[in-house]
A and B are shown apart, each in its own frame.
Chain A
Amino acid sequence: MLTFLVRRLLASLVVLLVASYIVYVLTAYSGDPLEDLRQSTARNKEYLMQQRTEKFNLDVPPPLRYFIWLSGLLRGFIGQFTLGENILGQAVTDQVAAAIGMTLQLITASLVLAVFIGITIGITTALRQYSTYDYSATFLSFLFFSLPSFWVAVMLKQYVGIAFNDYLEDPVIPPLVIVGVALVAGLVWMVIIGGPVRRRLIVFASATLATGAVFTFIALTDWFNDPSLGIVVIALLGAGVAVLVTALVAGLRNRKALYTSLVVALVGVALYYPFQLISLSLTLWSVIALGVLAIVVGVVIGWLFAGPDRDQSMRAGGITALFVGLLVLLDRFMQSWDIYVGSGTINGRPIGTVGSATPGLTGSFWIEGIDTFTHLLLPTAGLMLISLAGYSRYSRASLLEVMNQDYIRTARAKGLTERTVVVRHAFRNALIPLTTIVAFDVGGLIGGAVITENVFGWSGMGKLFVDALTTVDVNQMMGFFLVTGVVAITFNLLADLAYSALDPRIRVNS
């Protein structure tokens, strides 16, 4: 294990060194860092050019200049680490630190959502292989996969962001649109749920009616301008979540687990009102703390109910608590929505198309939370749509492979329920190859959201890269390269280790 680690790390270091040399020289030769000054007619042009030349050692040929940069890096051993300054005279380390924070903020939500939704789609399509749903999902995921990200980003802004804001200014949904949306929704649900013709028809009818009703309600009450769930809807949704979670985690036959989830949901609903009273004084950390507390309470309730499998009850309780908590949070955010939309800085157009926050907007945790949401929504959707495809395809393939294994047949032959077979025996093993892909993706996304960042005006790693390239700013480029390179290598290593930890057949002691 240790030899493996050391060998991998040393090899990575060599790769990084060689790559850094190539990147440095290529960037330096990619253009002329003095170009903007060359066209100047300023009286002291010569002086300015000389100043820059001296500062960045432009008189040293790039293949040698690299070692000047490297020496700054190596002086880290004597406590004088430096990546130099960029062309604007700012320390590259500061720039990179600020940029990586932005990028992490941008990609976290999209990564989590893409993994979650992608795996869900992948698993469900695998379980219903060759159904209409499978084909539709495959078609859509390939469609999104092949869309260029800059185009998706611009379209999202135009037809989701700006169009939604326009709608809010004049909140009228024409009846025809409601009918159309309802029919489409009915079709989608019908395809997803499937089954015999009669079931399909029932699903279609009820989904169409339900969607139509919801949209009519939205149109009549101008819900998007002042959305809310209210305790009744939360109670209903909470009960639904409780049942669903139990079904997945323990199976509905496990009554104790079901009671656990239902009680947890009930407790959550009961705490709805007290929560409103304290909500204004909350901050991010106290909300997180409350979330953890909720999970603990859920787990404890599960422990108290015990049942045939105490673990299952505890798990069901904890997960239900988390989701019911999220519902209450969502409701609280909704309550602040109309204040947010109506404020002068937002001026009735909440969905942002650039930047990560509205300038000059300060407010409670809820207001600022909404602001972050309105700015993250579009870039997250853009990144997610594109990476969704990969996860859904991989998880589908992986689950299909597992489902054909002998031990699945054995499990079925043992008389285990289909739920147990799928969730406990197949699903877990199907996830193993996915860890590798997710780890790769984290490394890739840190430096790979270049276009999305640029289009949405986020100053993350991508912008750092683009700016460095356009101004032939080698120091900044190397700052970018160093971070993304190290992240990529680290996550590759983590993927290998995780794989061996998850799959007992793999050993890393070569």
Chain B
Amino acid sequence: MRIRRFGAAGAAIAAGALVLAGCAPGGGSEIEEGTALSVAWNQAFYAYNGNTADGNATANNNIIYMMSDSFAYYDDTPALVQNPDFGSYEKLSDDPLTIKYTLADGVKWSDGTAVSTADLLLSWAANSGAFNNVEPEVDPETGEVLNQDEIDAGVFFDSAAIGGGLDLVTEVPEVDGNSITMTYSEPFVDWELAFNLQLIPAHVTYQQSVDDAASDADAAAAVATAIEEGDTEVLGPLSAFWSHGYDMVSMPSDPDLVLSYGPYVITDLVQDEFVTLTANEGYTWGEHKPVIEEITVRFIGDPLAAVQALENGEVSIIAPQSTADILTALEGLDDVTVDTTSDATYEHVDLTVNNGGPFDPATYGGDAEKAQLVRQAFLKTIPRAEIIEKLIKPLNPEAVLDDSQTIFPGAPGYDDMIAENGSAEYAEVDIEGAKALLAEAGVTTPVEVNFMYALSNPRRVNEYQLIAESAAQAGFTVIDAGNDDWGSKLGDGSYDAVVFGWQSTSTAVTSSQATFYSTGGNNLNGYANEEVDALYDQLAVEYDPEAQIDLLIEIEKILWADAYGVTVFQFPGVTAYDNTVVDGVVPAPLAPMFFWNFWEWELVG
């Protein structure tokens, strides 16, 4: 027994050594190495077409940004940077507004097909909604789409860009060689942004929806012809596939569905886990050449989980939702660079002037001046500096007051704007001034103000408390109208003042028009000023950027003088990266956020 066991052990040791020596390399032979970087984003990628109503989300657009190219992109200022390597555009005339887009030579899809005017035409056709001839009709009883057959037969590009300005190009753009020329039916000053959209491969869309036997060139040509001729027989299936054919949560079996025309190409996508982008060998035309061979974007929803993943080296760049806890956790990490920044959403206080409340002239028998004095008095009590100091500085030490209703802090024209727009009047709390204004107005104090805010948002609860406390000293009784349904109550006149955020998705100069124009869609407080309207009308046909800023300054002067409301701060954001792994990460306020300069990222060491 003993001998047998010793023998076995001896044999086994020898065998074990052999096994270890023999098997060890075999197990790892399949791991291929290259330069790679993992970053985190808080939502999973789910659509290759980021233009559709469903797919239009930052989570998709960040990824799309790395696998596509564009006529222009946003840097971290945020300013629009033209990208002539991909294509150029020029304004041929102001009236009618005519723009010529020209593709650079050598721009091609990752399957080798050239990016052509057919792709540009498809982008116009889809995102302008020019050919959409059916809208889904839903049976309110059952939720069933009643006209499914009609939709299947008709044309319906379900784009999120419809109404974004491209709809003003009602005629089919003219194609000339490698360029297309668009003519707007009305003047539109933000034309630069209107067509800066992701392209969807025309040939693939055609092959997938109409004729899978067509060659790539034939398919692209067929799309161009169909658009030029308005052939709904072809556009119908094309639109259906464009709208939903590119939805994906995991890697599609057909590589045509994830064609790239940029520095990276999607090579792996696992549902709710990660997406991997690999350098596109066919990207030869531009200067955004990838330095890192493989970028993996992992989807981590929980902010603290992202911080711990950063600490554990599983990801190297994160942009979690900024809270005091997250910042504390980040600051405790070695070798991590934390960039606190401003996001593109700005917090502001608006006063309602058409609800019969204290800020409505109607309350005082139409005495506009009296109402204005009361508004000014109230705004003077808003402790903007204190709000920044107590609520925002802990999250973004460099935070400053946002003093403009129309221009993003740091963007071109902001400094001139805040110097001239009259916001300085409200920089400090002025209780005495407010009392004097109320006395001048001759209203009986206390003045009751219904103040609405998002009850479920702790920061806004704090803002409300600071404001209520300060306003009380000047003779206002601020009534707590905090509400969880504040979003749907906006504009219903149930409140006299409200604090919430406007989110900017672009630097469009006319984006503020909807808020301040008397009939604008975002005009929720009944503000109407003919001068402002006239200036916006003027802005709508003013193409010179300098003159645009001058007009915006004129507009804001009136807004601040009218005591429309005050802006308070930009939402704080945070980007953190492991500086022993990667360098060159620069956060940006607008989508694609920190991804904007991915070609400048470098691996360290």
Contact = CB atoms under 8 A, between A and B. Distances in A.
Interface string B1-39: 000010011001101100110111111101101101010
B345 A44 contact: no
Contacts of B504: 41
Given A42-B164, A345-B31, A235 B12 contact: yes
A41 B502 contact: yes
A84 B55 contact: no
Contacts of B502: 39-41
Contacts of B9: 231-232, 235
B143 to A, nearest CB: 4
A455 interface: yes
A55 B143 CA distance: 8
Contact of B312 (A60, A88, A102, A353): A353
A71 B511 contact: no
B366 to A, nearest CB: 31
B420 interface: no
A272 B16 CA distance: 9
Contacts of A46: 163, 521
A345 to B, nearest CB: 7
B401 interface: no
A290 interface: no
A45 B12 contact: no
B241 to A, nearest CB: 15
Nearest to A464: B272
A35 B19 CA distance: 62
B1 to A, nearest CB: 10
B46 A88 contact: yes
Contacts of A88: 46-47, 54, 57
A330 interface: no
B312 A349 contact: yes
A455 B25 CA distance: 35
B522 A45 contact: yes
B23 A54 contact: no
A174 interface: no
Interface stretch (B110-118, B200-208, B209-217, B298-306): B298-306
A31 B309 contact: no
Contacts of B138: 54-55, 57
Given A88-B57, A90-B46, A353-B312, A43 B12 contact: no
Given A43-B508, A367-B30, A162 B53 contact: no
A457 B300 contact: yes
Contact of A39 (B23, B44, B503): B503
A157 B55 CA distance: 34
Interface residues of A, number: 87
A324 B510 CA distance: 74
B141 interface: yes
B247 A89 contact: yes
B313 A349 contact: yes
A38 B488 CA distance: 8
B131 interface: no
A335 B28 CA distance: 11
Interface in B149-177: 158, 160-165
Interface stretch (A199-207, A273-281, A312-320, A387-395): A273-281
A228 interface: yes
A95 to B, nearest CB: 8
A44 B301 contact: no
B20 A41 contact: no
B92 interface: no
Interface string A53-80: 0110101100001011101100000000
A286 interface: no
B29 to A, nearest CB: 9
Nearest to A46: B521
Contacts of A235: 5, 8-9, 12
A51 interface: yes
Interface in B353-372: none
A44 B270 CA distance: 33
Contacts of B488: 32, 34, 38
A454 interface: yes
A37 to B, nearest CB: 9
Interface string B270-306: 1111101000000000000000001010111110111
B331 interface: no
Contacts of A363: 27-28, 30-31
A221 interface: no
A400 B54 CA distance: 59
Contacts of A467: 301
B33 A231 contact: no
Interface in B183-197: 190
B27 A39 contact: no
B13 A359 contact: no
Contacts of B270: 357, 359
Nearest to A228: B20
Contacts of A240: none
B458 interface: no
B304 A455 contact: yes
A353 B308 contact: yes
Interface in A273-322: 273, 276, 279-280
Given A38-B487, A90-B249, A154-B304, A231 B15 contact: yes
Interface in B474-509: 484-485, 487-488, 490, 500-506, 508
A10 interface: no
A463 interface: yes
A468 to B, nearest CB: 13
A71 B25 CA distance: 58
B187 to A, nearest CB: 14
A34 B296 CA distance: 31
A360 to B, nearest CB: 6
Contacts of B244: 89
Contacts of B143: 57, 65, 68-69, 71-72, 84
Given A47-B163, A360-B36, A455 B312 contact: no
Interface in B43-99: 44, 46-47, 52-55, 57
B276 A231 contact: no
A232 B10 CA distance: 9
B273 A356 contact: yes
Interface stretch (A17-25, A336-344, A424-432): A336-344
Contact of A48 (B27, B160, B249): B160
Given A43-B508, A44-B164, A88-B57, A232 B487 contact: no
Interface in A356-375: 356-357, 359-364, 366-367
B230 interface: no
Given A339-B24, A360-B36, A154 B308 contact: yes
24 contacts: A34-B488, A38-B488, A39-B503, A41-B514, A44-B160, A44-B163, A45-B514, A60-B140, A89-B47, A89-B53, A89-B55, A231-B16, A279-B23, A339-B28, A340-B28, A344-B36, A345-B31, A353-B305, A354-B309, A354-B314, A355-B298, A355-B300, A454-B301, A467-B301
Interface of B: 5, 8-9, 12-13, 15-16, 19-20, 22-28, 30-31, 33-34, 36, 38, 44, 46-47, 52-55, 57, 136, 138, 140-144, 158, 160-165, 190, 244, 247, 249, 268, 270-274, 276, 294, 296, 298-302, 304-306, 308-309, 311-314, 345, 484-485, 487-488, 490, 500-506, 508, 510-512, 514-515, 521-522
Given A41-B503, A154-B308, A354-B306, 9 more contacts: A55-B138, A60-B140, A161-B308, A235-B8, A276-B22, A342-B28, A344-B33, A353-B312, A359-B270
* A-B residue pairs, 9 tightest by C-beta: A89-B54, A44-B163, A231-B12, A459-B272, A339-B28, A68-B143, A359-B274, A276-B19, A47-B163
Interface of A: 31-32, 34-35, 38-48, 51-52, 54-55, 57, 59-60, 65, 67-69, 71-72, 84, 88-90, 94, 98, 102, 154, 157-158, 161-162, 165, 228, 230-232, 235, 269-270, 272-273, 276, 279-280, 335-336, 338-340, 342-345, 347, 349, 351-357, 359-364, 366-367, 454-457, 459, 463, 466-467
